A and B are shown apart, each in its own frame.
Chain A
Amino acid sequence: MRIVIDPVTRIEGHLRIDCEVENGKVSEAWVSGTMWRGVEQILLGRDPRDAWAITQRFCGVCTTVHAIASVRAVENALDMPVPKNAQYIRNLMIAAHAVHDEIVHFYHLSALDWVDVTSALKADPAKTAALAESLSDWPMNGKAVMTATKDRLLKLVESGQLGIFANGYWGHPAMKLPPEVNLLAVTHYLQALDIQRKANKIVSILGSKTPHIQNIAVGGVSNAIALNSQSVLTMERLLAVKEAIDELKQFVHQVYNIDVAAVAAFYPDWVKFGKGVTSYLAAPDFPLDEKGTKFETVGGYIPDGNLAAYRPITTFGDPFLRDNVAESVQHSWYKGGKGPLHPYKGETVAEYTDFHEKAKYSFVKSPTFEGRPAQVGPLARVLMAVAAKHEPVLAHLTRILSTVEALTKTKVPLDALHSTIGRHAARAVMCAMNVDILEKQWKLLIDNIAAGDVATFEKPVFPRGEVSGFGFHEAPRGMLSHWVVIENGIIKNYQAVVPTTWNAAPRNEKGEPGPYEASLAGTPLADPERPLEVLRTVHSFDPCMACAVHLVDTQKRDIVQVRAL
């Protein structure tokens, strides 16, 4: 039996999943990006100093991340330093963006795969509050709050318009949470709508404007620092940033982290599903010096889940990363025949053939590291930290796993992380880490300014002839890299290898499946007409297809089609 889900993402999506189902389980899967864009072509012939502003229009979800990867690529091509203040300000923006994305991903883009909103209507608010208060000190867990959520849900159901909750698999047999846990989760869903604004506020204070930040420049940032002046980065604005950081920290520790542990505890089977590709790739991030040789987080490569074989990536421009990335179009709707190509040599010439699973079936290319598929994302970051014994991340990992262990009264082995629920846990760990980074970077910025350094920009100088460079950034969904070739100060080639390209890759040159494809094998399906379990695993990667695929879908589609063939 074959099921086809099209499209899969709640946002920014044109993703089609084909699953072959045998004996109630997925036996094989094919993942297809069904929209071509080739946005990089817009950059050819332009001034590299403008690339960041254009690339942040690639996607509505990840604007900031493309701006950052782009300036880093150009700075790497010029081998130029960036003032410390600029690094700190960029770090604050990317950490805040990450916290925003992680909270929104869990509550608004994936929690409803696990939480049954209609079941929450059967919950007792008093019991819900008692449960919540036994788990956390969060002040917004009281009975009055739970009652208000239930009333709001009732009003919604009585109106006959479920609105934002209209497309859920309510009452699905794979939904396992008791009514009280569902009510608690819906309450936090609503609270998360409010708290995510705080993270965004940090980005808008520093970036002058969201959704598209204005303060980035090749060579630094355009924020002028003057603690006593209006209209520039003042102490008042920096204190508003600190206030938002404090509120985010409380929510992440007392709500998000606990909820992820609770979902994990109620769905113990889900550490057995969704494993997939266990070679992991992550870049270090949050540079602490002008040249990007010291970082807050660790990066590297782990082949086949073997942490002992970890090899680090340690600097901007690290040759280990630079020399080992290639993209295949063997199964992608592009003109090929040259084998996998390094991004500096990358080509994006569309050649659409319709969906042929044995031949070409996706607009996503298939990237490899050392010739192998690799998974990117928060789980890759956490595993790098485990392999490198990076204490700040380990502390959060231990804390969250202990919460699961306390709830289930069973030991959670590290191997459990290679799973659908493991990706959620890893994202929660990294969110807590990102809040710590926000605090630390804020302090570094204040101290550096107090020491008299107000430099934020270094003027870039473009040489005659050809130079090339790449910039990486651990974006919320995983490692993002931009690759640029510049000739006489003009962009000659530009390729973005985005996280969802790594994870939603089709089969590569050797026929090996990409991470989404591999992770779906073995997934049980209680009701193939309503393939909730497939969505759980795919959503655990946080798919964002807008930039993973390289034209506009000319076919108009319904919101979600599921066809069982």
Chain B
Amino acid sequence: MTGVSAPARRVVVLGVGNLLMTDEGIGVRCVEQLERNGTLGPEVVVIDGGTSTNELMDDLQNLDLLVIVDAAATGQAPGTIVRMEGSTIPSAFSNKLSPHQHGINDLLAALTLLDRAPARLVLFGVEPHTLALGMELSPVVGATIPELCARITKEVATACA
């Protein structure tokens, strides 16, 4: 079931998080900006996953690269960007910051079970300043978006080269 012989690389950039909880929405706000920038190649699919998971199965199966952007509690200064790759990611998700992350973990496990898991998985996480109720990012987290976008664009370009 694996190994769909697609001519181009299949790459998805997925932003997850809850837009109603300030910095929790960083992943979604980042992919919104990526779409506006238009710097990713046309073959790259950008998805606002919100806090959903099951609905994403079609989009996330048999990928060459999945890049997830999310808020991540790593204990560092607010606005710190961390990059993780491969097997270190599930354990990051199991120490969950918010409910949706458990869901992503489950979805990835389901894809693994079906032999359709992404060949490479990269997570960009941003340490939140606040998770209070509200639809705006805190200034320190909002200010990470240009760097996040640049690093994701580079990550994707390297993978597609």
Interface residues of A (CB under 8 A from B): 10-14, 37-39, 41-42, 54, 57-61, 63, 100, 104, 108, 152, 156, 163-164, 190, 193, 196-197, 200-201, 203-204, 210-212, 545-546, 551-552, 556, 559
Contact = CB atoms under 8 A, between A and B. Distances in A.
Contacts of A57: 18-20, 50-51
A190 B114 contact: yes
20 contacts: A14-B99, A38-B133, A39-B20, A42-B20, A57-B18, A57-B50, A59-B51, A60-B18, A60-B53, A60-B100, A61-B52, A63-B50, A108-B54, A164-B112, A193-B57, A204-B55, A210-B52, A211-B56, A552-B24, A556-B96
Contacts of A546: 51, 99
A12 B100 contact: yes
Interface in B11-33: 18-21, 24
Contacts of B94: 559
B9 to A, nearest CB: 22
A552 B18 CA distance: 11
B50 A212 contact: yes
A82 to B, nearest CB: 25
Contact of B55 (A14, A54, A210): A210
B113 interface: yes
B52 A60 contact: yes
B7 to A, nearest CB: 23
The 8 lowest CB-CB distance pairs between A and B, nearest first, are A60-B51, A211-B52, A164-B109, A60-B52, A163-B109, A211-B55, A552-B131, A210-B55
A190 B113 contact: yes
A338 B82 CA distance: 48
A58 B20 CA distance: 8
Given A14-B99, A42-B133, A60-B99, A552 B21 contact: yes
Which secondary structure dominates where chain B touches chain A? Answer: mixed
Nearest to A41: B133
A375 B19 CA distance: 31
Contacts of A203: 55
B79 interface: no
Given A196-B57, A552-B131, A11 B110 contact: no
Interface of B: 18-21, 24, 48-58, 73, 94-100, 102-103, 106, 109-110, 112-114, 131, 133-135
Most buried by A among B53, B58, B94, B134: B58
B110 A193 contact: yes
Given A164-B113, A193-B110, A11 B99 contact: yes
A211 B103 contact: no
Given A13-B102, A39-B20, A551-B133, 19 more contacts: A11-B106, A12-B99, A42-B134, A57-B20, A59-B51, A60-B53, A60-B100, A61-B54, A63-B52, A163-B109, A164-B110, A196-B54, A200-B54, A204-B55, A211-B50, A211-B55, A552-B131, A556-B95, A559-B102
B50 to A, nearest CB: 5
Given A39-B133, A42-B134, A164-B113, A12 B103 contact: yes
A54 B135 CA distance: 9
A247 to B, nearest CB: 14
Contacts of B24: 552
Contacts of B21: 37, 552
Contacts of B50: 57, 60, 63, 211-212
Contacts of B100: 12, 60
Contacts of A190: 113-114
A197 B106 contact: no
Contacts of A552: 21, 24, 98, 131
Most buried by B among A10, A12, A546, A559: A12
Contact of B20 (A10, A54, A156, A201): A54
Contacts of B114: 190, 193
Contacts of B110: 108, 164, 193
A38 B133 CA distance: 8
Contacts of A201: 58
Contacts of B57: 193, 196-197, 200
A13 B100 CA distance: 9
Contacts of B51: 12, 57, 59-60, 546
Contacts of B113: 152, 156, 163-164, 190, 193
A104 B20 CA distance: 26
Contacts of B55: 100, 200, 203-204, 210-211
